[in-house]
Structure 1
């Protein structure tokens, strides 16, 4: 709300939303194209590969919802609509099949957590 009240605040909020959306798209792309393999010293196979892929895609979707809310708040000029992850998840919950979508997102974020454990053990070192 404070940022939206300054001159060019709507533009800044919209730009922040677009940057967040860009990061979300990058995470989804990373999951689809398996670019996460570039960050580790081995190639993923089996369940680890599935966890990494699903995790990156779910993380991208969740972050994309947040970015979309920021852009929407800038367009409608309503600072109350720009929320964090909690507002994004409440927005998803209020949709048809929202609880199912939240369960799928939750499982995906859990998969990302498993990927993080694998990454911690096999990260490439400079």
Structure 2
């Protein structure tokens, strides 16, 4: 944006901040950048957990079972099996796999859409 237009925008839309020093805006920019990084880090999912989630969704879709089937039967059963056969610590790792009703539904829809696009 041209400096003159930026100045006009600043004085007409942000009158409260017109008398603030440049350091104020630099701090705001830095805080905003850090906040974005925090959000990105919090929303990333491990690649192996994502793959596991898609594989479970594929099996549910292939079996024709409802999406809630995973949340109420498959995950608790898998947790029990791993806890008995391996350890409780390893079973807790399974809790990181996104297997909620909405997630499974979205994954099934993504896979169906991908298959339809491949056929065309």
Q: Same fold by TM (over 0.5)?
A: no
Bigger RCO (CA 8 Å, 6+ sep): 1
In our comparison, the structure showing a higher alpha carbon Rg is 2
**TM-score bucket of the superposed structures, by smaller chain:** under 0.3
TM-score (normalizing by structure 2): 0.27
